[in-house]
Structure 1
């Protein structure tokens, strides 16, 4: 199997985004490169970094990126979603130039070196007129195309994984024109940004989200963070003798000053409400709040809960859940 050529700029993630010359209309149109419902079963963890200096700035003047990030990260909420299998799709018609497979998923977290193979398992497609797309971090053994093969937009290339330089399951997509990374959300050659969502080179506009909540659940004790990241399902039934009742929320891209609001409503007029400030920004985060059981225990019945993520006093994401206690 032909290997992905090395070095290629996108194989070393963090090498920097260099904006291409002004894009010519009609050169390339991109489709969503992952088989999921954006904002529901997948989300954009990072956009390309447009800041030419040491700072960070995404196309919408936000900070949903990191220094030198040259592509778009389409992430899955949990490893369970990765295990279930989510297809990576060709974003535009073209010819497969190279592939790499056989790299272990989670190698970085296991302490293994990924030097020279930061992209992990991947596919490189040429689209003509100097355009290329590169797809990184695919699941080992999942790649379905061969070098020289012609593909249409939407052709399955493999499955989302976490091979190479990856700490969570995601697809890293890099678009290049004549070897230079291009931001598909705002392909203009300047280093400015636009504080509104726009189509860019996508066939249809992809909504901009500056952060959000991936899952929430009721529990009787704080959940294990590793279990949540792996795909801990929200509880649907809690024991009648629960010594505590709490609501947890798992989300992405918090910033310093964000607030998690927790609300639990239950039978017999039960209500719990609390806000918890987030002390620092994190790519992925877990928060929870709750109360101990009263002397007579929690009343049996259905408890409904809602977690909200607030930024500058405004709700930017909400998720709800419910569970039956006792009975």
Structure 2
């Protein structure tokens, strides 16, 4: 059982665009900030450095779209729909590429097909959206087909050049990349935008906890990214009790705090500080089995991801013995 509290979500709301420009809805069926997260934005810095539209670091050099991710590979099992962001006509599609992290030892050569399975939709007046990393075999539309906003296009996957499950959406006008969060921004500038291309306001979230859990020992990062089940109970002879947290968008100086409370006043708390920025990272803390085994009762774990005095995300999980 777990609970999630999100704190640092900066509005950066702006007025909608003029009627001639497309108004976009989210290209994924999820609850933004709860079951999905924007991991990367368009890189607004033309130099070899990188910055997003909010002057943050949620991007990388040359990134040309918005990456909306789910927490783990296990989340893909439910079949998360990729949706049409604005009405238009399907201009091109590609399917048949496997869902595999591009840095995996057995990943096939991409041969320039970094988008993986994907498609392009034309919206008229030189506007188009591109959708990438769709699940193999899931694309539901065909070239030349007219599609309405919200029409399912396929499912979120891991095809192409990617190391986490997400949908990448690029917006272009006459072939030039446009940031839907800051369509009028000058190259290299950042900060609140005068207008936006989103139909509904989309808050800026400066990183977040993706998942937390209990385990008997520190799990591998691969198993965390795959998605670990929550243990139902804590055995009396469990070798240890470890609380772990999985996050994205950490910066140097950020902290992750672990607080475990158990029966009879048992408690363990620990804080870890990140020394370098990390796109996605996990940390863990815990204790070995006490003499005589674990006391019977309820154990509550709280993981808090903070930046200075500001709490970005808190998640809570419980387990019984």
Scaled by the length of structure 1, the TM-score of the pair is 0.89
Between the aligned partners of 2:17 and 2:36, the Cα distance in structure 1 is 30
Matched, 1:103 2:97: yes
Between the aligned partners of 1:294 and 1:141, the Cα distance in structure 2 is 50
Aligned to 1:214: 210
- What's the offset of the Cα at 1:199? 6.6
Q: Which residue of 307, 314, 319 corresponds with 2:310?
A: 314
2:184–2:195 CA contact under 8 A, matched in 1: no
Aligned to 2:24: 30
Deviations 1:274-304 (A, max 9, x none): 1011232221111101122332332111101
Alignment CA distance shift 1:210-1:24 (3 Å): closer
Aligned to 2:52: 58
Between the aligned partners of 1:124 and 1:137, the Cα distance in structure 2 is 12
Matched, 1:78 2:72: yes
Deviations 1:46-99 (A, max 9, x none): 000001111111111111000110100011111111132111000000000010
- What's the offset of the Cα at 1:197? 8.2
Deviations 1:159-211 (A, max 9, x none): 111111111111110000111000000111413111x5887110111121111
- What's the offset of the Cα at 1:314? 2.0
- What's the offset of the Cα at 1:236? 2.5
Residue 65 of structure 1: SS of its match in structure 2? coil
2:131–2:169 CA contact under 8 A, matched in 1: yes
2:82–2:154 CA contact under 8 A, matched in 1: yes
Scaled by the length of structure 2, the TM-score of the pair is 0.90
Between the aligned partners of 2:180 and 2:72, the Cα distance in structure 1 is 26
- What's the offset of the Cα at 1:243? 2.9
1:72–1:172 CA contact under 8 A, matched in 2: yes
Decide which moves more: 137-146 or 304-313. Answer: 304-313
Aligned to 1:149: 145
Residue 77 of structure 2: SS of its match in structure 1? helix
Q: Which residue of 127, 132, 137 corresponds with 1:131?
A: 127
Unaligned runs of 5+ in 1: 1-22
Residue 81 of structure 1: SS of its match in structure 2? helix
Aligned to 1:48: 42
Between the aligned partners of 2:159 and 2:77, the Cα distance in structure 1 is 13
Between the aligned partners of 1:292 and 1:197, the Cα distance in structure 2 is 51
Deviations 1:246-301 (A, max 9, x none): 21111111122211100011111112111011232221111101122332332111
CA RMSD, aligned part only?
1.6
Number of equivalenced pairs: 302
Between the aligned partners of 1:33 and 1:89, the Cα distance in structure 2 is 4
Alignment CA distance shift 1:143-1:198 (3 Å): farther
Aligned to 2:183: 187
1:197–1:205 CA contact under 8 A, matched in 2: no
Higher RCO (Cα < 8 Å, 6 or more apart): 2
Residue 253 of structure 1: SS of its match in structure 2? strand
Between the aligned partners of 1:188 and 1:92, the Cα distance in structure 2 is 19
2:17–2:23 CA contact under 8 A, matched in 1: no
Decide which moves more: 48-57 or 292-301. Answer: 292-301
Moved over 4 A (4+): 196-199
Matched, 1:226 2:230: no
Residue 237 of structure 1: SS of its match in structure 2? coil
